[in-house]
Amino acid sequence: MQNPLPFLPRSGLFASVLTLIASGALAETTVSAVMHSDLRVLDPVITTAHITRDHGYMIYDVLIAEDADGEIQPQMAEFEVSDDGLTYTFTLRDGLQFHDGAPVTGADVVASLERWGQRDTGGQTIMDVTASIEATDERTVVWTLNEPFGPLLATVGKPSGVPPFIMPQRIAETPADQAIQEHIGSGPFKFVPDEFQPGVGVSYLRNDDYVPRDEPASNYAGGKVVNVDKVRWITMSDSMTAVNALQSGDIDLIESMPVDLIPLLEGDDAVVVEKRAEFGFQTMGRLNFKHPPFDNQQIRQAALMAMSQEPILAALTASPEFYDLCGAIFGCGTRYEDATGTETLTAGGDPETAKKLLEEAGYDGTPVVLMQPTDGPTLRAQPVVAAQQLRAAGFNVDMQPMDWQTLVTRRASMDAPANGGWNVFFTNWQIAEIANPISNVMLNGRGDQGWFGWPEDPEIESLKQEFIAATTPEEQKAVTDRIQAHAMEFVTYIPLGEYNFPQARRTALDEMLPTASPVFWNLTKAE
C-alpha cells in the first residue's frame, strides 16, 4: 500500500501530492479518512454539526458515555445518585490530564457543564431544574437539582447533539455564544493546529499521555485505546476522486460512500463496503420561523404538504436498499415511533392542498431562500428535489448554492433572508440523536435560545416537561404521541425519511467500532 496523502487539495494538484508521497515523510502509522464534510468550526459547543462533534471526540473526553447496549457507563468519572434523585456526585478517575499537562479538576468539569448547559437542548432543560453544580474538591463534582430529572444521566451521556466535552476551565469560561480560541482537551488524540487548513484537511496525533479505562471499548464508552500514530481527515469534495484514492491506497476510509459509485469497488479485495450501524439517519427540512413566509403557520403547513419523501430519498441514495419512508419524528423502529400528521409525506405529497393553503394564507410570492450545499453526498440532493416540489406548489424558491460549512455558518444568522439570512435548509440527524424529546434538538421551542430556525413554542416545552415527569413507559409514549401530532401541526420541522449510507474502507483498516459515526480509537491498520 502506498503512503497516505498528507492532504489532497480540492483542485487535485497531484504533482505536489506525489512529491509529498515520495518524500517518505509519513513513516508513522497514519490513517487517512475522507469524512462526510470538511471541518471548519472547531468549537463543539456552539454548533451541532456532526463533523465538529466528531472532532470533539478526537481531542476531548466526557464524564459518562453510552455503551453498545444503550446503557450509561462511567468514562472520566464514576457517579452516584441520591435516593431522592436530587443529587448526582461525579468522582474523576486517576490519570486524567489535559494536553498541556495540567490535571483535569472539578473546576474544569463545572465550567464545561455550565457552558454546555447554555447551548444543548437537553442541557437547557436540566439547567431549568438545577440548584447548583459545585466542585467540592479537586476530583469531586456535586450536581444538585430542585426537582428530580429522570433522564439526567442519559442526557449527559448521550453520544451526539452537543456532548458535554470537558475542557480546561479557562477555555470553558468563554461565553457560550463565542467560539473558543484554544483547542486543548484530555482525549485520546491531540489536535495539530499547524496542519489544520479548512477546505484541505486536519490532523490529529495520538495522545501518549492518555490513560484509557480498563473496560473494552463499547460504542462511545470503555477504553479508548489508540493503535495508530496519526489520523488525517482529508477534504475531497469530488466523490470519484475519493474512490480512486481509496482504491490506490492513498486513503483508508470514506465515511459516506455514494451508493451509485459502489459498483466501481466490486471485485476489489482490498476494499470493503459496509453499513456502520443498525440505525442510520433521518433527513429533514428546517424552516426559519423568524421571517416571512414561514413565520406563518399555514404557509409552513403548505410546505409540508408540498413535499414527498420518495423522490428526495431516491435522489439521495439512488437505491431503495439504503432508504425507508418514515414520518416518525423519533425514528421508525424506536420506542416512540408514531407517524401522525405525516401521511402525505409518505404518500407522494399533496401539492393541490398546498396551493390552497398558500392562497388562504395570502402568500404574496415572497422569495424562499433555500440554502443548497454542493459538497457531501448526504447533503446535496435534498434541496434540489425539495425546491422542485415547493415550486410545483406555488412557492417562489431562490436556491442558493454553497458548501456545507458555509451553510453551517450562515444558518446561525438571524438576519432577514435578503440580508444574508435564510428561509429553509436541509440537514440529517442520526436516529439515536432524535429518538426522544429531550435529546431531539429540533424540538427546542425556546425561540432565540433554541436551535436554528428558532421556533417559539411553549406548548412543546410543556409537553417535554410532561415527558420528564412521566413514571411509566406507557405514560411516556402517550406524551411522545402528542408531541408528534403537535410538531406536525406546528411544522416544527419536516421529516423526510431515513437512510443509511455505507462506509468504504481498506481491509488493512480493522477493528473499527460499529458506532453511528466513525471513531478512531480501537481500530488497527496493517502496514
494 lies in the same domain as 452: yes
- Say if 223 falls within a structural domain: yes
Structural domain boundaries, residue 242? 189-275+502-525
Q: Are residues 477 and 394 in the same domain?
A: yes
Residue 249 and residue 370 share a domain: no
| Beta-bridge partners for 9 | none
Q: What is the pTM of this model?
A: 0.88
Q: Which of 128, 146, 173 corresponds to the end of one domain?
A: 173
Amino acid letter, residue 399: M
HEC assignment per residue over 361-408 = HCCCCCCEEEEEECCCCCCCHHHHHHHHHHHHCCCCEEEEEECHHHHH
pLDDT tens for the chain, 527 residues long, are 333 323 333 334 333 333 333 333 445 899 999 999 999 999 999 999 999 999 999 999 999 999 999 999 999 999 999 999 999 999 999 999 999 999 999 999 999 999 999 999 999 999 999 999 999 999 999 999 999 999 999 999 998 889 999 999 999 999 999 999 999 999 999 999 999 999 999 999 999 999 999 999 999 999 999 999 999 999 998 999 999 999 999 999 999 999 999 999 999 999 999 988 777 899 999 999 999 999 999 999 999 999 999 999 999 998 899 999 999 999 999 999 999 999 999 999 999 999 999 999 999 999 999 999 998 789 999 999 999 999 999 999 999 999 998 999 999 999 999 999 999 999 999 998 999 999 999 999 999 999 999 999 999 999 999 999 999 999 999 999 999 999 999 999 999 999 998 999 999 999 999 998 899 999 999 98
Name the β-bridge partners of 524.
510
Residue 438 and residue 301 in one domain = yes
Dist CA 488 CA 494 (whole Å) = 8
CATH number of the domain enclosing 93: 3.90.76.10
Q: What is the pLDDT of residue 27?
A: 59
Q: Is 379 contained in some domain?
A: yes
CATH number of the domain within which 235 lies? 3.40.190.10
What CATH number does the domain containing 366 carry?
3.10.105.10
Do residues 159 and 251 share a domain?
no
Looking at the structure, tell me whether residues 326 and 349 fall in a common domain: yes
Question: What pLDDT score does 277 carry?
Answer: 77
Same-domain check for residues 244 and 294: no
At 276 the pLDDT is 83
Say if residue 482 is in the same domain as residue 509. Answer: no
> Is 400 part of a structural domain of the chain?
yes
268 by DSSP, 3-state: which?
A: coil
Q: Are residues 196 and 245 in the same domain?
A: yes
Domain count within the chain: 3
Q: Residues 156, 193: one domain?
A: no
| Residue 100 in grid coordinates | 498541556
- CB contact at 8 A, 306 and 391: no
Whether 194 and 330 map to the same domain: the answer is no
Domain boundary among 173, 203, 224: 173
25 domain-assigned: no
d(CA 299, CA 357) in angstroms, rounded, equals 7
* Residue 323 resides in a domain: yes
14 located within any domain: no
Are 234 and 293 within one domain?
Answer: no
Q: Is residue 18 part of a domain?
A: no
